[in-house]
Amino acid sequence: MGGYGRHAVRDAAVVAAALALRFDADRNGRAQFAAMSLGGFAASATIVTALAAWLPLHALSGRVALGLTAAGVLATLVLEVPPFVRVLRGAPIPRGAAYVSRAAVGTARGERAGAA
């Protein structure tokens, strides 16, 4: 799997953030960034579609669950689509938050900043 090889989606340092990933911008390029982003968009669409099919939409609880899920996905898309489009148009891969440099990845794990 790509996350455990020499390429770069790495596990988050905090166990509570089991689904959070950090993208190593120094070790990956636009192709990996696009693949990661498109995979996230596809996963979001798949989850919303599956929930729409499986939730009891005749019940208030099902409609609330689907509405909250859709709101969360919409918020995620509002935050993630603009950087995705900018990178596809030639902008550098973002830094900060989930996008880190090699030095920051090592420092977060307790390694020396200059170590490979």
User: Which range, 34-38, 56-60, 106-110, has the best average confidence (pLDDT)?
Assistant: 56-60
Q: Is the pLDDT of residue 116 over 50?
A: no
> What is the dihedral sign for C-alpha 69, 74, 76, 80?
positive
- C-alpha gyration radius of the chain: 17
Confidence bin at 100 (pLDDT 50/70/90): low
Q: Across-strand partners of 104?
A: none
Q: What is the pLDDT of residue 2?
A: 46
Higher-confidence residue: 32 or 11?
Answer: 32
Considering only residues 52 and 99, tell me which one the structure prediction assigns the higher pLDDT.
Answer: 52
Taking all residues of the chain, what is their mean pLDDT, rounded to a whole number? Answer: 79
- What CA–CA distance (Å, rounded) separates 91 from 88? 7
